[in-house]
Amino acid sequence: MASAAGSAIVPIFPLPDVTFFPRTLLPLHVFESRYRAMVMDTLARDRRLCVVKLQPGYEATYAGRPAVHAVGGMGEIVSWERLANGRYNILVRGDARVRIERELPTDTLYRLVSVKRLDDVGPATDVSLLLSRIREAAHALLDALGRPPDLLDTALAEGQPSGAVADRVAAAVLPDASLRQTLLETLDVDARVARVADAIEMLVRELKGGRP
């Protein structure tokens, strides 16, 4: 739903340990009644929603309105399937980082928020060497895991913004939920690309060192 310039009103889908980056696809199985209602309403409107990561300790208030991180990923439901039991399988395409400005009063089972789009800053320097490190480390990681060498070709493709490479690779291979959230909140492209390069190289070192 449209709001003031640069802002939007969208439902939120709070999830534990899920970080939704721009330019990525996120498949979700929706089974709770409040989120089934959210998907139904969203499909009837503009198909846009915001996926946000729950703050630690959410379990005690999960049925209500547990605290969420202020920065999340906004996207559009690009395909969906309603199952016989009323559940949904949906695929959401990430369009933007957003910051939650405020939560709105609502009579729906799910939560509505006003969000403001966050744009990348930079890169301010030549990050080609950092991107080369990411590509080399990603291929080494696939090799160490015994995965197909072309598995990350789309994420690593030349010709896309450097911030997109960092986002797509982070979404695909970085297991640390806290780190992924930090990367989502990092608007400085130079810093984000450097952090992803360091993280993947560390993963490769751990795998080759035999540590879990």
107-124 pLDDT per residue, tens: 999 999 999 999 999 999
Structural domain boundaries, residue 167: 128-208
Whole-number Cα distances in Å, 184 to 9, 104, 146, 167, 195: 20, 23, 28, 8, 11
**Do 188 and 110 lie in a common domain?**
no
**Do 94 and 32 lie in a common domain?**
yes
2 pLDDT tier (thresholds 50, 70, 90): very low
pLDDT digits (tens, 9 = 90+) for 140-188: 999 999 999 999 999 999 999 999 999 999 999 999 999 999 999 999 9
**Do 15 and 110 lie in a common domain?**
yes
Question: What are the two backbone dihedrals, phi and then psi, of residue 12, each rounded to the nearest 5 degrees?
Answer: -110, 145
User: Of 68, 91, 118, which residue sits at a domain end?
Assistant: 118
Domain count, the chain: 2
Using CA of residue 38, residue 43, residue 45, residue 50, what is the dihedral sign?
positive
Residues 6+ apart with CB under 8 A from 21: 73, 94, 167, 168, 170, 171, 180, 183, 184
Structure tokens belonging to residue 182: 């930090």
pTM for the predicted model, two decimal places = 0.91
**Do 23 and 106 lie in a common domain?**
yes
**Do 48 and 141 lie in a common domain?**
no
Q: Is 34 helix (H, G, I), strand (E, B) or coil?
A: helix
pLDDT digits (tens, 9 = 90+) for 34-45: 999 999 999 999
Evaluate whether residue 1 is within a structural domain.
no
Evaluate whether residue 123 is within a structural domain.
no
**Do 50 and 78 lie in a common domain?**
yes
Q: 56 or 192: which carries more pLDDT confidence?
A: 192
**Do 134 and 186 lie in a common domain?**
yes
**Do 35 and 90 lie in a common domain?**
yes
